[in-house]
Amino acid sequence: MDKKKGLLAGLLLLGSLAFTACGSSAGAAGPNEAKPVGSTAKTTAAASAAGTLTTNGGAVLDLAQLKHYTTNKEAPKVYFIADITPEAMIKAYDALGWKPAGKVAVKLSTGEPPASNYLSPKLIGELVHKVNGTIVECNTAYGGSRSTTAMHYQVAKDHGFTDIANFQILDENGSLALPVSGGQRLKEDYVGAAFKDYDDYLVLSHFKGHAMAGFGGAIKNISIGLGSSQGKAWIHSGGTSMTDPWSGKQDAFLEAMADAGKAVSTALGNGDRIVYINVMNRLSIDCDCNGNPAEPDIHDIGILASTDPVALDQACVDLVYASKGSDALVHRIEDRHGIHTLESAEKIGLGSRSYQLIDLD
């Protein structure tokens, strides 16, 4: 618990600073902008035939380096594209073959000011328009600029999200309890009350490190991310408190995240009404809830998409481990025991850690 409180104090201090992040001049921390890559698509296509793929940063990775990659046709598919552009976002989405039947919510992180690495509206805007989606978020359970509804709406406006779509804070009118089937820590997950107003969910996640969870991707976005302010505390505490998010043990928190993700997936047609896209750029060790994140040491990798959040996050983790310059991010993941979230999520049936990797380049 002392370690958690220390991490929280550091997070809140960074989030409250009014100066720009280290290196915030050209190419530094800020929203994830669309980034053309030149000839990456051609080189990736050639490399894939030899059992390799080329990342956005130009690194050639052997698929054998990816610990949970498999050629088993029964494994869930994770689609990869090296380009990080609006067009690539749509290509990754289209590969999923998903057809939303009703009102679509687009879940993302609005990002903590002043300089977090949230996904830029310029990058995601065309995809949001394609699905006619409403961007949704929930308030935080700690201090900062997104802890109240009024402040959070202002951040969404300042960061450009209200310019590209309708925007709603799901928990502005309280919480909704979702049952957890087969959970390790939770019997109920508390999401924003307006969660039920949407038929389908498109989850857009910036994959990165995280001060508490080790890393943040699809699972964190549908658990902590869709949790109401009280629900966030409930998950962080491992299901022991709705007011004190820092009262639980680390593994209990990670297991509760998996439980909450399972509740959301179950509520959405056992996963039929939700799909996931992870963007692997600006790979800081710090999450987008940190307004002044550390500069990344690792080059951008690409965009990945799947209908399975466990397979998707595991593929992203495997790509981090296989990449040069990833020591700091790997240390963050291991120091926080972040892999345990994936272990727990697979154990309770949220998804599979094994995956096929389909190169779209």
Asked which of 7-16, 60-69, 106-115, 173-182 is least confident by mean pLDDT, the reply is 7-16
Q: What is the mean pLDDT of residues 308-316?
A: 99
Interval 81-95: pLDDT, tens: 999 999 999 999 999
Element housing 358 (H / E): strand 356-359
For residue 192, count other CB atoms closer than 10 A to its CB: 25
- Please calculate the CA angle 12-165-198 and round it to the nearest 5 degrees: 85
**Token pair 């981090």 in the structure block, residue:** 320
pLDDT over 80 at 15, yes or no: no
Question: What pLDDT score was predicted for residue 31?
Answer: 54
The pLDDT confidence band at residue 303, using thresholds 50, 70 and 90, is very high
Domain ranges of the chain: 53-359
SS3 content of the chain, % helix, strand, coil (to 5): 35, 20, 45
Mean pLDDT score, 183-197: 99
pLDDT digit string, tens, across residues 237-273:
999 999 998 888 999 999 999 999 999 999 999 999 9
The residue-averaged pLDDT of 343-361 equals 98
Hey, what amino acid is at 82? Answer: A
Burial (CB count <10 Å: 0-12, 13-18, 19+), residue 276: buried
The whole-number pLDDT of residue 185 equals 98
Beta bridge partners of 35: 84
Residue 42: partners with Cβ closer than 8 Å, 6 or more residues away:
361
Checking DSSP bridges between strand 134-137 and strand 167-169, what pairing results, if any?
A: parallel
Name the token pair of 84. Answer: 């990080």
Question: What sign does the dihedral 207-63-35-325 (CA atoms) show?
Answer: positive
Angle at CA of residue 284, ends 283 and 288, nearest 5°? 100
Q: Tell which CATH architecture fits domain 53-359.
A: 3-Layer(aba) Sandwich (3.40)
C-alpha triplet 36, 111, 334: angle, nearest 5°: 85
- The string of pLDDT tens digits covering residues 29-48 is 345 544 433 333 433 443 34
Taking a C-beta distance cutoff of 8 angstroms, is the pair 238, 341 a contact?
no
pTM comes to 0.88
**What is the average pLDDT score of the chain?**
90
pLDDT at residue 18 greater than cutoff 50:
no
Residues pairing with 60 in the sheet: 54
The continuous run of DSSP H or E covering 233 comes out as helix 229-236
pLDDT of residue 50: 40
The residue that leads in pLDDT, 28 or 239, is 239
* 3-state DSSP assignment of residue 300: coil
Q: Give φ, ψ of 214 to 5 degrees.
A: 90, -50
Residue 114 tokens read as 């002043």
- Is the pLDDT confidence value at 55 over 90? yes
- What is the pLDDT at residue 11? 43
Residue 206 is given by DSSP the state E
Q: From CA 213, how far away is CA 122, in angstroms rounded? A: 28
At 202 the pLDDT is: 99
Helix (H, G, I), strand (E, B) or coil at 201: strand
CA distance 28 to 43: 27
Of 142, 141, 133, the C-alpha closest to 197 is 133
Between residues 24 and 51, the one the model is more confident about: 51
Q: How far is CA 70 from CA 106, 151, 351, 355, in A?
A: 30, 45, 15, 6
pLDDT at 42: 38
Q: Taking 60 as the threshold, does the pLDDT of residue 183 lie above it? A: yes
CB contact at 8 A, 335 and 214: yes
**In this predicted structure, which of 14-23, 54-63, 168-177 has the lowest mean pLDDT?**
14-23
Distance, in Å, from the CA atom of 129 to the CA atom of 165, rounded to the nearest integer, reads: 7
Here the tokens at position 308 are 């399975």
Give the pLDDT score at 32: 54
Q: 121: part of which helix (H) or strand (E)?
A: helix 121-130
pLDDT over threshold 60, residue 196: yes
Mean predicted confidence (pLDDT) in 123-140: 99
Q: Does 186 score more than 70 pLDDT?
A: yes
